[in-house]
Structure 1
Amino acid sequence: MTATQTHHYWLPVPDRTGYRWTRHAFRGHKWDGRSADTSVCNVQCAMTQPSELDWFQAPTCQECTRIPLEEQSR
């Protein structure tokens, strides 16, 4: 595995409606300001700067939790 595959960061992102937010994991060290990316669980996400409330209220994607843990145990 390369370094970019072993590092990930979390970011709350809105769904397509913009009303529901979910905290997804993304490959890399930190968000670089790009407007879209694919999460660890392979969901296309529009990315924007989340508020503190978004961090607090957004549920964590269970697949984005499971996948890095499985990769780590390989």
Structure 2
Amino acid sequence: MRIYPSPGLLVRDPVKRDALPEEGREVADNDHYWLRRLSCNDVTLTAPKVVAVVEPTPADEEKPAVAKGAKPETSKGSDS
């Protein structure tokens, strides 16, 4: 079975002696340690939701937002 740490928890693997990674790990279906961790909700069988973070590119930051159909503002001098 593939197990994942519950959100916000650091769960140690007693065999590999490291923390259970966020992407989960395959363990034996009849392992009593992991079955206990499942029963007390330290680990779960469902993968965590991945949230994609989109960072704006420098080109996107420099462009002024203009509404569709609107004319961009032009600066008019006071020398008329």
* TM-score by shorter chain over 0.5: no
Shorter-chain TM-score category? under 0.3
Higher relative helix content = 1
Q: Which has the larger radius of gyration?
A: 2
- TM-score under structure 2 length normalisation: 0.24
Higher relative strand content = 1
- TM-score under structure 1 length normalisation: 0.25
